[in-house]
């Protein structure tokens, strides 16, 4: 049996704001759904990201009586490669995005990174390769 990874589905509480963020800030093309729906797919150029209303997914799997969230460390981080973390960071700031980590070289990882969150609080990293020492 072979399992093929198709896409990541983010279960969000603020669907409209997240839809607008991934379309207008991240620049991904919606291929299904609109900002007024509860499900949408975005083409990122390599793989799709889907958004789905968290309460609808909870109902589908019988978890609607559980808490919608709790304060904890992040369990998932979306990672996007960019040509320049510094240029991408400036672009994001111009779109009103607040970086939670400034562009930083991680020589031991071989990448330069910056981090921010979408309107639902999902952690996102942008990175570019750098030379290892």
Task: Write the CATH number for 118.
Answer: 3.10.180.10
Q: What would the mean pLDDT of 66-80 be, rounded to a whole number?
A: 85
Domain identity same for 2 and 53: yes
Output the pLDDT for position 108.
87
State pTM to two decimals: 0.87
The string of DSSP codes covering the chain is ------EEEEEES-HHHHHHIIIIIS-PEEEE--TTSSEEEEE-SSSEEEEEEHHHHHHHTT-TTS-S------S-EEEEE-S-HHHHHHHHHHTTPPEEEEEEEETTTTEEEEEEE-TT--EEEEEEE----
The whole domain housing 42 covers 1-65
Domain identity same for 59 and 76: no
Domain identity same for 129 and 92: yes
pLDDT above 80 for 2? no
Number of independent structural domains in the chain: 2
Residue ending a domain, choose from 65, 83, 100: 65
Residue ending a domain, choose from 20, 44, 65: 65
Output the pLDDT for position 23.
98
Output the pLDDT for position 133.
66
Output the pLDDT for position 65.
87
């Amino acid at each position: 049996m072979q399992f093929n990874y198709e896409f990541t589905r983010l279960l969000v509480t603020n669907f409209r704001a997240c839809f607008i963020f991934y379309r207008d800030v991240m620049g991904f093309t919606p291929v299904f759904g609109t900002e007024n729906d509860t499900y949408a797919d975005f083409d990122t150029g390599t793989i799709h990201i889907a958004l789905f209303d968290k309460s609808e997914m909870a109902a589908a799997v019988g978890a609607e009586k559980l808490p919608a969230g709790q304060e904890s460390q992040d369990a998932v981080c979306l990672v996007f490669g960019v040509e320049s973390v510094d240029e991408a960071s400036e672009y994001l700031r111009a779109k009103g995005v607040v970086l939670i980590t400034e562009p930083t070289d991680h020589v031991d990882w071989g990448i330069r990174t910056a981090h921010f969150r979408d309107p639902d609080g999902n952690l996102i990293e942008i990175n570019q390769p750098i030379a290892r020492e």
